[in-house]
Structure 1
Amino acid sequence: MSALFEPYTLRSLTIPNRIWMPPMCQYSAAPDGPEAGVPQDWHFAHYAARAAGGTGLIIVEATAVSPEGRISPYDLGIWNDTQARAFRRTTDFLKNQGTVPAIQLAHAGRKASTERPWKGGAPIGTDEGGWQPLAPSAVAFAEGHPVPAELTVEQIREVVGQFAEAARRALDAGFEVAELHGAHGYLIGEFLSPHSNKRTDVYGGSYENRTRLALEVVDAVREVWPQDKPLFFRISATDWLDEAGWTADETVRFADTLKEHGVDLLDVSTGGNASGVRIPVEPGYQVPFAARVKAETALPVAAVGLITEVAQAEKILANGEADAVLLGRELLRDPSWARRAGRELGAEVHVPDQYHRSV
């Protein structure tokens, strides 16, 4: 059997194949009013197409646990029940196609309140519909970005509660997997890294203190997320800094701790917390970080990062470098990549009845 098309079981959930879609923001929700953060027709069509194309698991894009946790005013949210109910159309369709619906719960931290990428992605002020970003420390992400407000301990506790409430709503919305966004320089990742976390209280300084918020969020979500459903954690395995940043060694150390707290899989990415760093981008450039976690810890991993070719993806799994692959840009280009891979590898993959002529 092809490694890509071998089913994968976590807790009581079996995912039909190892071809997964990572969260990729669409910046297409209403920015304000009663529809703020609510998934629209675009979101349904976008995710439905990849499910019809045979993708085994789809992680819905970074979905904010609070209004100020959005990257942009146009992000999805799950801080109220109206938003949660609106996701049902998508989760029901994905399940009908045999695809597992997952959702990434997120808080943008100091990288919040920005314009959409195709509008330049620059920070926007309160006069343009923006807001004051929040962060572990009053340190701007980059030149030209606002200095965020440093979270108080009371506010940190509120954020932990917001993640738990978002997970509860995600369950009501029909999701089978919850993923916590601890990567790419957003709030949880900002606490992990000494590059962005300059606190001197129990949430800053030592490795144990910098990981405290992440573990509190994991514990709070695990309390409301059913024991038979998996919980993922996305991490940037390195800040790509020579010093004073989060490192691959810390990622390996943290992986075992996450498993002890009930995380079932580490979604391994890199970067995003420091501006202006040089990243050696090439096909599969992040896979070695996932492979190291898999080799040195007991926590399953998913690999991401310019995985585009069928043979490349198959080799990653066959070599034991990861338990699943996440295809981002390639699934934007080809929603039916999984069906194409199935044809190349001689494997069975879901094909909707309406598309039987394509077999």
Structure 2
Amino acid sequence: MKILRSGRIADLEITNRIVLPAMAMNMASEGYVTEKMIRHYRKFARNGVGLVIVEGASVDERGKDLHGGLAIYSDRFCIGLNELAEEIKLNGAVAGIQLLHPGGCASPRIEKNEPLAPSQIEFTMFMHGRHSFKATARELSKEEIRGIVEMFSEAAGRAKDCGFDIVEINGAHGWLFSQFLSPNTNKRSDEYGGSFENRIRFALEVVEAVKSAGIPVIFRMDGSYPSYGGVSEDEILRYASELEKAGVDCLHVSGGFAITPMLVKRGILLEGAFKVKSAVKIPVIAVGGISPDMAIRIVEEEKVDFVALGRALLADPELVVKIREGRIDEIRPCTRCNDCIDRLFSLRQFGAECSINPDVEIEKAERSKKIVVVGGGVAGMEFARVAKLRGHEVVILEKSSELGGNLIPASIPEFKSDLRNYLEWLRRQVKGVEVVLNCEEIEKKIAEIRPDAVVVAIGAEQDVPNVQGIENAVKAVDVLMGKVEVGEKVAILGGGRIGCETALHLAYKGKEVTILEILPSIASDLERNYSFALIRELRSRNVKWICNFVVERIEAGRVVGRSEGKEVEVICDSVVLATGMRPRRLDLNLGVPVYYIGDCVRPRKIRDAVYEAVYLASRI
């Protein structure tokens, strides 16, 4: 399998073709390496990743991307950086670090930051988060541009002296290099603006300066959907060629739409990487929602030299080991829910964590217990999986005919295949657990088993609002499960995740759909990338929506309510309820400890169900 064979970048031999790309994790403390960060990167090196690229380190004190971002603009950070580099290499990987400058996207809400760009224009801060905002950048003087070039050179020298084998310049994703490249953000009339040759001048000067530090260089570039637009495919390929001539040792080809949600097809950035690969002789790394199967195939076909698996490795750090051992079906699949990014670019900037992998070390229990889990949804299956690993005897009691709970209807729409893969993975993980399906007499069955503890994970059910004529409506879950049919014109009450996804599901079936949402906007409970993609797709399918809508009554053939102070009447054949969920209740008095986890406590995200399940299973 070629993906497991060694490859070369410059004079570096890399044990396989799998790369951990630089991903902001928010683990640093005032720019310094932390013990948590060292543990994080050690884990991937120890599990066989060939090249580990540490998250973007700021080269300029005025240009940090996060409160918990890493820094390399001063020698005072070198002690921790040296320890981090040595730990990665000690565990068998080549150690790289990304050098970063957000330019005009440097949020002024971060201490000492100042948005600086080729031209004085407005930029979006925290562009991947639902709490994004805009600020105007100050135009860089030519003297300041030369100063930033020198900052990159000094940062590269520090990286080399700290023990890193290679550096990566982040020239993609809307940061400073993208701002110079696009004529939409670069309005300069001097040698750094105007013509294509002028707009790439800054990048080439930085490459030359970094190369002078005597360390191999990867340049990360947009090969598809270039940030801010205005850059043609021909210019992208010329850019790649000029970077190669300037001495870049490897091109890491990403795109302006880099953090793709599950609605977007996997590998959407690959065509750009393939085209760059055909235009240069140096190695090319592909990235962007690539599944393990896809990664194996494109390396085998020699379409690229290396593949970067970011979120996939967060979901399963043992991915390389499982590929090597032929256990690909055991790889925990990334659902591309983007909860990791949503946390990172939230208002408070939390650490990036995978929603389905709490990354907790599982230790054997001191004493094996017999545990009954009531409910076979996400929380129930995840608890059973971890409890079994710890040596407990687990029995799942499920009322329905199959495991999955609300993950079953949630994964039915054709654009939710990533979620279906996760559901199937969970089911495979509990194959060694005793499962009782169609279990109606729960308390009687528990009494027969005589467990040491009971875990209740019965999830949530759709809430039904107190609205006149509500009996004429059907539930979104029943629509998704195919239990009820709807007419050609459908009104959906609720424009959150359930309502929007059900609307798109019905629109794909040719239905004429209108979403009625009480809040000022639809999809407001979704991560920003997913929200954008979903709203764009809803528009393309001619789905309509009315916001600030308060429903008053449902009548035959219509929904009546008020929006913006005016009465609104929506003509429809069917009304679908997507107004939220409420916890199911099951009160047990059995004389043994009873624990409640997941949505039966309070309806929330998959992340909450998984984390509660793992934390409980780790201590029970």
Equivalent positions of 1:254-293 (< 5 A) are 254-271=239-256, 281-293=264-276
269, 278, 283: which one aligns with 1:300: 283
Aligned residues: 320
Structure-2 change in CA distance of 1:175 and 1:206 (3 Å): same
Residues 224 and 269 of structure 2 are in contact (CA less than 8 Å); yes or no, is this contact kept in structure 1? no
Q: Deviations over 1:68-89 (max 9, x none)?
A: 1211232100011121221122
The structure with the largest strand share of the pair is: 2
Structure-2 change in CA distance of 1:244 and 1:326 (3 Å): closer
Q: Does 1:41 align with 2:40?
A: no
For residues 91 and 183 of structure 2, the distance between their equivalents in structure 1, rounded to whole angstroms, comes to 43
Q: How far is 1:194 from its partner?
A: 1.1
Of residues 279-288 and 87-96 in structure 1, the stretch that sits farther from structure 2 once superposed is: 279-288
Q: Does 1:221 align with 2:210?
A: yes
Instruction: Report the TM-score, using the length of structure 1 for normalisation.
Output: 0.84
Structure-2 change in CA distance of 1:260 and 1:64 (3 Å): same
Aligned match of 1:4 = 3
For residues 327 and 235 of structure 2, the distance between their equivalents in structure 1, rounded to whole angstroms, comes to 37
Equivalent positions of 1:94-243 (< 5 A) are 94-113=88-107, 124=109, 129=111, 131-142=113-124, 144-226=133-215, 230-239=216-225
Aligned match of 1:323 = 305
Structure 2's unaligned 5+ residue stretches are: 125-131, 329-620
Residues 251 and 282 of structure 2 are in contact (CA less than 8 Å); yes or no, is this contact kept in structure 1? yes
3-state SS in 1 of match to 2:220 = strand
Following TM superposition, where does structure 1 have runs of at least 4 consecutive aligned residues deviating by more than 6 angstroms? Answer: 277-280
Instruction: Report the TM-score, using the length of structure 2 for normalisation.
Output: 0.50
70, 74, 77: which one aligns with 1:80: 74
Structure-2 change in CA distance of 1:234 and 1:5 (3 Å): same
Structure-2 change in CA distance of 1:345 and 1:315 (3 Å): farther
Q: Deviations over 1:35-65 (max 9, x none)?
A: x311111211110111111100011011100
Q: Deviations over 1:256-307 (max 9, x none)?
A: 111111101110000069xxx9998321111111111112322321000111
What letter corresponds to residue 155 of structure 2 in structure 1? Answer: A
Structure 1's unaligned 5+ residue stretches are: 31-35, 114-122, 347-359
For residues 131 and 91 of structure 1, the distance between their equivalents in structure 2, rounded to whole angstroms, comes to 27
For residues 226 and 158 of structure 2, the distance between their equivalents in structure 1, rounded to whole angstroms, comes to 35
3-state SS in 2 of match to 1:104 = strand
Q: Does 1:24 align with 2:23?
A: yes
Aligned match of 1:356 = none
3-state SS in 1 of match to 2:40 = helix
Q: How far is 1:165 from its partner?
A: 0.2
What letter corresponds to residue 168 of structure 1 in structure 2? Answer: G
Structure-2 change in CA distance of 1:278 and 1:176 (3 Å): closer
Residues 117 and 139 of structure 2 are in contact (CA less than 8 Å); yes or no, is this contact kept in structure 1? yes
Q: Deviations over 1:183-217 (max 9, x none)?
A: 00101121011121111111011100000000000
Q: Deviations over 1:323-351 (max 9, x none)?
A: 000001011111111101111289xxxxx
Q: How far is 1:240 from its partner?
A: 5.2
65, 76, 80: which one aligns with 2:59: 65
What letter corresponds to residue 27 of structure 1 in structure 2? Answer: N
Q: Does 1:335 align with 2:329?
A: no
For residues 257 and 155 of structure 2, the distance between their equivalents in structure 1, rounded to whole angstroms, comes to 24
Q: Which protein, 1 or 2, shows the higher relative CO under an 8 Å CA cutoff with sep ≥ 6?
A: 1
Aligned match of 1:33 = none
For residues 177 and 345 of structure 1, the distance between their equivalents in structure 2, rounded to whole angstroms, comes to 31
